[in-house]
Amino acid sequence: GEDVEQSLFLSVREGDSSVINCTYTDSSSTYLYWYKQEPGAGLQLLTYIFSNMDMKQDQRLTVLLNKKDKHLSLRIADTQTGDSAIYFCAFSRNAGNMLTFGGGTRLMVKP
């Protein structure tokens, strides 16, 4: 969506860290999400962060939020070939409410 921007493509080597970035324009965003989509599948909710948080860590995933710059990032540590997919960031203003999605970043992990 035009309110959420992501780079189209990222390529990393297996074992390296991946950092996927997202910028958004709506300062009233309350919840910010990361979804993963593998070929032929639906979107899988990976993690999300509430706007009053700066960071959230969940196993190999780290989400960083810079509210001043309206920048959200997802870091995947020790990236594996199974992490190859399209990653979408999204935001909503209210719990349970509609999500606005970015265009997705295709992550390719080379062995």
Partner 1 sequence: DAGVIQSPRHEVTEMGQEVTLRCKPISGHDYLFWYRQTMMRGLELLIYFNNNVPIDDSGMPEDRFSAKMPNASFSTLKIQPSEPRDSAVYFCASSVKNEQYFGPGTRLTVT
Binding site for partner 1 (CB under 8 A): 1, 31, 33, 35, 41-45, 48, 88, 92, 95-99, 101, 103-104
Q: Which one, 24 or 88, has the nearer CB to partner 1?
A: 88
**Could you tell me the smallest distance in angstroms from the CB atom of residue 26 to partner 1?**
15
Residue closer to partner 1 by CB (options 59, 95) is 95
Structure tokens at 78: 């020790």
Smallest gap, in angstroms, from Cβ of residue 30 to partner 1?
8
Chain center to CA of 54 = 14
φ, ψ (nearest 5 deg) of residue 82: -70, -10
Q: Strands (DSSP E) along the chain, which ranges?
A: 4-6, 9-13, 18-24, 31-37, 43-50, 55-58, 61-66, 71-76, 85-92, 100-101, 105-110
CB-nearer residue toward partner 1: 69 or 95:
95
In the complex, minimum distance from the CB of residue 58 to partner 1, in angstroms, rounded to a whole number: 14
Which two structure tokens, joined as six digits, stand for 4?
Answer: 């959420």
- How many other C-beta atoms lie within 10 A of the C-beta of residue 51? 15
Of 1 and 15, CB closest to partner 1: 1
- CB 29, min distance to partner 1, A: 12
